[in-house]
Amino acid sequence: MNPMTHFLALETSCDETAAAVFTDELRVLSSVVASQTDLHARFGGVVPEIASRAHLRNLLPVVNEALVQANISLKDIGCVAVHNTPGLVGALLVGVSAAKAFAFGLGVPLIAVNHVASHIFACRLAANRDIFPCLGLVVSGGHTALFRCDTALSLELLGGTRDDAAGEAFDKVAAILGLGFPGGPAVEREAATGNPKAHHFPRAFIDDGRLEFSFSGLKTAVLYACHGQDVKKSVPPGPGQKRADLAASFQAAVVDVLTMKCKQALRKTGLTRLAVGGGVSANKPLRAALEAMCAKEGAELVIPPLNLCTDNAAMAALAVEKWKRNEFAPADLDADPNWL
């Protein structure tokens, strides 16, 4: 019987510095995330240079904490995995450089993992069983895309966003409404007391058979509904029913579009399982709408718990699938900011 292999995984694709330890049996022994939210909050979004510098400061302490929680040491690591695409190039480089150094120093294989594919694999971890084939929706600050996932490593892009990703739209609308950063949780909190039917905001492509998304026009509609035509002198609205209604109406539009496109994709592909990953999948109204839709369509819905929705290194356990196939990364592995 072969001895168990321990993996060390790193994630630095955007503004979360994360490390995890898991086994070749997909047992997650530790998952540590250092958030940079406070560093970027005053800018209303992620500043790439600040993110990269914070990764440099945080990475080694995060790795050390992951090893401590897993109750192992570096000498016990048999493979190193890293998200090398897609993401902010400077941020990715920190993780990729560190992963190559760890792999070389330990004399163990290095595996490159796609961050977007990992969000789907987080559903596999949550389900604790095989979920493939399935329809995959990745919905985050940088990505909104639908995939046909025949296996964990075989993703076919069915359609994506033409402009803003859903999470990006949440951040921008939160800035318009003066709700702070990150926008997703802030808008959801504000929307809780609002009327989702107060404003009928556009739902791009909702009646179009194409599996594409667009949230830029929705963001602009919120801007004009908030300030009228004179947006140059705009000041965020204060607390009150107006702001809550705007947040609720915006959120309802995003949820409607995401749910309808998943419904269309399920029918087009004939798949009967929907796996949803990415930070926006933590949104409670979205989870409820997808659950109701899947129940009506006779499909199974798989969404990870909140700690596996946002960026983390545990979902890089997708590396185990590559490890089984001896798909190791070269010593000159580079960061690739673009994938879709």
| Sequence ranges of the binding site for Fe cation | 115, 119, 311
Strands annotated E in 115-262: 134-139, 144-151, 154-160
User: Strand, helix or coil at 36?
Assistant: coil
Q: Residues within the annotated binding site?
A: 115, 119, 138-142, 171, 184, 188, 283, 311
With a CB cutoff of 8 Å and minimum separation 6, the contacts of 33 are: 16, 17, 18, 62, 310, 311, 312, 313
d(CA 246, CA 235) in angstroms, rounded, equals 15
d(CA 262, CA 98) in angstroms, rounded, equals 37
Instruction: Tell whether omega for the bond before 3 is within 30 degrees of 0, i.e. cis.
Output: no
243: tokens are 């702001």
Q: Residues within the annotated binding site for substrate?
A: 138-142, 171, 184, 188, 283
Strands annotated E in the chain: 6-11, 16-23, 28-35, 77-85, 110-114, 134-139, 144-151, 154-160, 273-277, 300-302
Q: Identify the burial level of 138 via C-beta atoms within 10 angstroms of its C-beta, where 0-12 means exposed, 13-18 middle and 19 or more buried.
A: buried
d(CA 176, CA 134) in angstroms, rounded, equals 36
| Residues 126, 276 contacting (CB under 8 angstroms) | no
Burial profile 99-127: b = 16 or more Cβ within 10 angstroms, e = fewer: bbebbeebebbbbbbbbbbbbbbbbbbbb
d(CA 258, CA 262) in angstroms, rounded, equals 6
Q: Rounded to a whole number, what is the distance in angstroms from the first to the last CA of the chain? A: 40
